[in-house]
Amino acid sequence: MEYSEKFNTRMEEPEEINLREVMEYYGYAGSFGVIKFYFRYAINWILQTMAKISPHYGISVKLQRMRGVKIGKHVFLGPGVNLDDLYPELITIEDYVGIGMGTMIFAHSNPTCSPYLKKKYYPREVKPVTIKSGAWIAPGSIILAGITIGEHSVVGAGSVVMKNVEPYTVVIGCPARVLKKLE
């Protein structure tokens, strides 16, 4: 434990900050709230793990829906797709979307262990992600919190999407940049 020498008070540890932030988001409080959070997290982890290793994309979709991800019709989730562990309910995937294997979609960002970075530069961000109808996310892509992928857009393999993607647009790279517009 660290103590502030000037005021002789205990500083909040990073793990305590993270737990407090998530509990506040879900409206949990006290010891029973901690138990509810860890139970929720365990169920989410089990469902996410089963979805990632599922032999059929339809099972993956059903398991992700059980976690709270909003998923439309005719959606393909490849093996190893990781949808945010803490805030699955903030992810919306509309109809006719394909998401390739090993893709990660985050609805939050959090420099977990550094109180300095959390307080001065990068506080926890929790923002919804939307993948619009007809989009294709190629394998190994990373989509960060707060992003919207437009209708019938393509995210190239291994791209890191840090800005919204306009409809009918192909983006590639790290960070993702426009390759071309689709007609």
183 pLDDT band, cuts 50/70/90, is confident
Q: What is the pLDDT of residues 148-181, one digit of tens each?
A: 999 999 999 999 999 999 999 999 999 999 999 9
Q: What is the pLDDT of residues 112-124, one digit of tens each?
A: 788 888 888 888 8
* CA distances, 173 to each of 90, 154, 160 (Å): 25, 12, 7
49 pLDDT band, cuts 50/70/90, is very high
- Residue with structure tokens 């089990």? 46
All domains of the chain, ordered by start, with CATH? 3-181 (2.160.10.10)
Q: What is the pLDDT of residues 122-144, one digit of tens each?
A: 888 999 999 999 999 999 999 99
User: pTM score, two decimals?
Assistant: 0.90
Instruction: Count Cβ neighbours within 10 Å for each residue of 97-112 and write b for 16 or more, e otherwise.
Output: bbbbebbebbbbebee
pLDDT at 9: 62
